[in-house]
Amino acid sequence: MTSSYVDISGTPYSYDSRQENTLQEIASRVEQMRAGGRLNDASLELIRKYFKIKNIYHSNAIEGNILNIGETRQVVEMGLTITGKPLKDQAEAKNLSEALDFLENLASDATLPITERDIRQIHYLVLKGISEVDAGRYRTTKVEISGSAYIPPLPESVPPEMERFGKWLSKVSIPEKSFASKEGLMFAVVTHTWFVTIHPFNDGNGRTARLLMNLLLMRYGYPIAIISKEDRLRYYDALETSQSSDLSGMIGLVAECVHESLEEYERAIVQRATDSEWVRSIAARMTDRERIRKNNEYEVWRSAMDLMKSYFRQTTELLDESMPDGRVFFKDFGQLEFEKYYSLTQGSSVKQTWFFRVDFLLGKQTIRYLFFFGIASYTIKGLCDVSVYVAREERPYWYEKLEILHNSSVSVPSLFELGYSLRDESFIARYSNNVIERQTTEQICRRFIEEVVQKHFEP
């Protein structure tokens, strides 16, 4: 398909026409869920609560806040003060929680336009008690964006620029017949990008922009998009490109975040009842002694998995810093819960087991490799019960195991599966042709990355 650009009416932006299918696929999925009663208002309320702490943590972390997700939860949900952590960081978490509550109110009535006054109020909530002189007030000085070549408008241009932006926002923030449409996702991205391009406040522009983006998504029936701290560099790159009016990078990133939220929705909503029943059945089958033994085993296994993930993350970050013409991104999906680990050790399959992903970007070529948990294959079953498999994205949001691709004569890295032997306290890697090797995390990671570069990026 030949690349061309689609202008977004009423805005200074355009995007790559090849993204049309992705936008429509996500919109269709949201529409189908609503039509089936699976994405009704009550369900959306539940998922928003589920995502709240995660959203606060990542949005603040992008701006340099050092609270971890557990500390964020303690500050927001329990009202605790964390000893040894900056009071400013704790105030930022509380403020963003209050701003999200305000956002819920704005999202609840989609017949009322979002106005400049609402934007100022959102910003006030983000900065109140931290920078009272700036909270809710447009800047009166010239500013620069750290690490960016882009220079925002002069202070005297901010009010007219915000008036223009505000008029557009007030129109598109009322979905009417465009509810659950691809336009809703597109308008959300425009809202974020246009706002940060104006950069109307001295501080808090990023957090306010992400809040406004999610407000538009909520108005159009979408789950929120959480741009994680792991995606920070990719996020900054996309914003830099958007200064030339090309919104393709931001649309791609936000579309991916929305897709991940939909996946989280499936896990949190569709499986909520069955998960509860499943956990109860597991607990009933386990004696106290068995539970203690399995928990101890799980903690050792989990520490090994954390070590492996940490090495992949560090190697990815070092490689990204050293690549002159490309980028490498690491995406963390968390750990496998004890109940799912136990179920896999018993030979039962479970859903939602993504571990982490490594994205390689060079020019317009992006290659994504996903690492996810599953039942150990027959080949290494005697060495471990739970494995990490490797898959590659073959089309948007569709991943195929490397072993299957290899059997179809597709050129892929040779790493198919890896695990950890609790008995030998060693990592096990299964390569093509069922070659089994005991290796360190360093050996596994370096071999994998070298093969990716060799197969996709070397001339």
Q: Is 199 a catalytic residue?
A: yes
**HSE-up (13 A, CA, CB side) for residue 285:** 11
Return the biggest CA–CA distance within the chain.
71
Q: Which of 192, 199, 259, 456 is catalytic?
A: 199
Report the Cα–Cα distance between both ends of the chain, in Å, rounded: 24
Q: Report the candidate in 49, 65, 52, 11 with the shortest Cα–Cα distance to residue 204.
A: 65
CA 24 to chain centre: 20
Burial zone of 113 (CB within 10 Å; 0-12 exposed, 13-18 middle, 19+ buried): middle
Phi-psi region of 422 (alpha: psi -120 to 50; beta: other; left: phi over 0): alpha
The label of the residue with tokens 């979905």 reads 175
How many CB atoms are closer than 10 A to CB 288? 7
How many CB atoms are closer than 10 A to CB 450? 11
Under DSSP, is residue 74 helix (H, G, I), strand (E, B) or coil? helix
How many CB atoms are closer than 10 A to CB 226? 20
**Tokens read off for 417:** 């599966």
- Write out the catalytic residue numbers: 199
